[in-house]
Amino acid sequence: MVLIQAEKIRKDYQAGEVSIAALKEVSFEIEPASFVSFVGPSGSGKTTLLNLIGCLDRPTGGKLIVADTDTAALDRKQSAAFRGNNIGFIFQDFNLIPVLTVYENIEYPLLMVQNTPVEERKTRVAALLAAVGMSEQKDKYPDQISGGQKQRVAVARALVTNPKLVLADEPTANLDHTTAYMVIDLMKKMRDEFKTTFIFSTHDQKIVKEAEIIYSLEDGELMDRQVQGGKNNG
């Protein structure tokens, strides 16, 4: 069983009359409940790849199947609905909504995207708050909590809809090492608890070692695949 199947996906950007290949026929497969990292230097195509997997962008060529859905076939509205139901996002800058409290930020996808009934919403938000250790801060606004706490809230927000997949683009880039490890540990713990696939990009070699499967990208090409900690993705 495969959660993500990428076959020779390409992504070209047009810069004036010049076409720049950000991804060059990249192929891979990712199983459910994996903890995967894409590594590589700046400009290697990590973010582009995560954007394609997250249906935020479309490949120029190739085939990308995510959760049994051909992402290229989705229109704008279908993409939004697909993301809302299947994918959670964790951003480098946390991207919490400043006018909403910690509780409301976590609740947002259930309320505004999935329209979940109130009782179920309360249960799930409370569970996630407890899981990320933010129950005490639930009524605080994002500008009243630290960067590490913000990222924990972002993790909770990404998981609250029970997505099949969580994408995190450089989730630790704005955190100190201690906090960064805490966030990665939290993500792992959430993967174990919710059986959600986590894919994150990073260029921090120490953080990379925490991943179970590591894909190395360079100049838009997949250069290497390493499996760590005894888990083999085939």
Q: In the set 57, 204, 218, 219, which binds other proteins (CB under 8 A)?
A: 57
Secondary structure of the chain in the HEC alphabet? CCCEEEEEEEEEEEECCEEEEEEEEEEEEECCCCEEEEECCCCCCHHHHHHHHCCCCCCCEEEEEECCEEHHHCCHHHHHHHHHHHEEEECCCCCCCCCCCHHHHHHHHHHHHCCCCHHHHHHHHHHHHHHCCCHHHCCCCHHHCCHHHHHHHHHHHHHCCCCCEEEEECCCCCCCHHHHHHHHHHHHHHHHHHCCEEEEEECCHHHHCCCCEEEEEECCEEEEEEECCCCCCC
For residues 164-223, which are near other proteins according to CB under 8 A? none
Tell me: does residue 98 bind other proteins (CB under 8 A): yes
Does 69 participate in binding other proteins (rule CB under 8 A)?
no
Closest separation in Å from C-beta 228 to other proteins: 29
For residues 160 and 183, which CB has a smaller minimum distance to other proteins in the complex?
Answer: 160
- The one segment of 38-46, 73-81, 127-135, 205-213 that binds other proteins by CB under 8 A: 73-81
User: Residues 5, 95, 162, 179: which binds other proteins (CB under 8 A)?
Assistant: 95
Contact footprint for other proteins (CB under 8 A): 51, 54, 56-57, 76-77, 80-85, 87-89, 91, 93, 95, 97-100, 108-109, 111-114, 157-158, 161
